[in-house]
């Protein structure tokens, strides 16, 4: 989830917000190309038109359909490389922590958070999204690579499939936006743990339902998810996990902002149009580390109705900002954390009393 910052040319050119469509990952194709199709490793992914056996368990091979076809996953995979950004959470929840996970460069990012780090007495290997080490992946001897919450291209999928079976992102959804249920179901089926996957999904759905019942005042209020990187403002689309966290609690997105984003993950918004954001009953802002106070004092942002009335939440998306990541990841492990730690701040922000202190998630 690279995002542009004023101080980093890499981040400034890499993307569409916390976004998920980082150009840097493409660099790993160079290494793959050097190895070429000589990587005819035994057990590589297969295309198969046969359906998975009914009631499949970890003791049989399974066929998983995804954006680039169907992959046969061998029974009971143990050495999993998670290249889908939040796949780590589902794999941990299913009882098979990955041996390696993809990360973004820089000390602002970590895939380990309060809800998943206990599964790793020793840190897993980290694979830089911007420059995968193919030699390192081969040395890990994976029996499965997952990219369910990802956006790998067909070319990347084909190359990685020369190493071992690969489960790419699901078809029918935009990249990096696999819904919680879809992501969990795909990975649970790949591991032959469908019942466990259903239990996880049902469990978090129950917690969300309870949160909605406990907070009826959220129903019908509008929310805007906004970012500021240097001089660039962005609005986040309604299909993203961050947005869904709020809408699942009863909030509504603003049609004018939804139209601006369309089917993309996010869209730039000019300072002249920030009043659209300020009209929301609640705004979640995210900016660079150390820049929250500066953002609050920005002449345009400080003048927004939502800011003046104290109806804003403030985050940085730095690795220490667990509340932000719990919303942004939106997984069966992170959502319970978000419910516990974010809802109290939401209630403080919308209580109608400008003197109520709303704590920054990070600064």
Residue from 70, 200, 91 nearest 146 by CA: 91
> Is residue 98 pLDDT above 90, yes or no?
yes
Question: What would you report as the CA-atom Rg of the chain, rounded to the nearest whole angstrom?
Answer: 21
Name beta bridge partners: 64. 71
pLDDT band at 58 (very low <50, low <70, confident <90, very high): low
pTM (two decimals): 0.84
Same CATH fold assignment for domains 9-200 and 211-349 = yes
Mean pLDDT (the chain, rounded): 86
pLDDT tens digits for range 14-55: 333 444 433 332 233 223 333 333 333 333 333 433 334 434
- State which fold the 211-349 domain adopts: Rossmann fold (3.40.50)
Domain layout of the chain by residue ranges: 9-200, 211-349
Name beta bridge partners: 127. 102
- Neighbour-count burial of 51, counting CB atoms closer than 10 A to its CB (0-12 exposed, 13-18 middle, 19+ buried): exposed
The domain 9-200 having CATH identifier 3.40.50.720: the answer here is no
Residue from 77, 193, 215, 213 nearest 146 by CA: 77
Residue from 226, 223, 241 nearest 311 by CA: 223
- C-alpha 81, offset from chain centre: 17
């Amino acid at each position: 989830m690279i995002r542009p910052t004023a101080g980093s040319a890499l981040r400034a050119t890499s993307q569409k917000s916390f976004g998920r469509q980082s150009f840097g990952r493409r660099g790993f194709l160079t290494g793959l190309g050097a190895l070429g199709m000589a990587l005819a490793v035994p057990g590589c992914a297969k295309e198969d038109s046969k359906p998975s056996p009914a009631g499949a368990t970890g003791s049989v091979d399974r066929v998983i359909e995804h954006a680039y076809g169907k992959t046969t996953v061998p029974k009971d995979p143990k050495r999993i490389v998670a290249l889908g950004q939040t796949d780590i959470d589902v794999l941990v929840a299913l009882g098979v922590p990955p041996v390696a996970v993809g990360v973004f460069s820089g000390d602002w990012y970590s895939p380990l958070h309060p809800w998943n780090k206990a599964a790793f007495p020793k840190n897993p290997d980290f694979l830089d999204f911007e420059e995968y080490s193919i030699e390192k992946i081969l040395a890990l001897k994976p029996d499965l690579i997952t990219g369910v919450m990802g956006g790998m291209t067909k070319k990347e999928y084909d190359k990685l499939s020369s190493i071992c079976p690969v489960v790419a992102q699901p078809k029918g959804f935009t990249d990096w936006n696999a819904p919680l249920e879809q992501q969990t179901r795909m990975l649970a089926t790949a591991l032959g743990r469908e019942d466990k996957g259903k239990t996880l999904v049902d469990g978090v759905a129950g917690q969300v339902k309870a949160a909605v019942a406990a907070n009826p005042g959220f129903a019908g209020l509008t929310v805007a998810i906004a970012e500021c990187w240097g001089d660039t403002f962005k609005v986040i689309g309604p299909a993203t996990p961050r947005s869904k966290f709020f809408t699942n609690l009863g909030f509504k997105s603003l049609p004018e902002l939804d139209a601006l984003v369309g089917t993309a993950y996010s869209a730039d918004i000019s300072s002249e149009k920030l009043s659209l954001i300020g009209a929301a009953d609640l705004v979640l802002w995210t900016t660079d580390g150390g820049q929250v106070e500066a953002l609050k004092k920005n002449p345009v942002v400080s003048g927004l109705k939502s800011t003046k009335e104290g109806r804003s939440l403030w985050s940085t998306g730095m690795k220490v900002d667990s509340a932000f990541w719990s919303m942004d990841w939106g997984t069966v492990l992170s959502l319970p954390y978000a419910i516990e730690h974010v809802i109290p701040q939401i209630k403080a922000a919308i209580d109608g009393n400008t003197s109520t202190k709303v704590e920054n998630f990070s600064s």
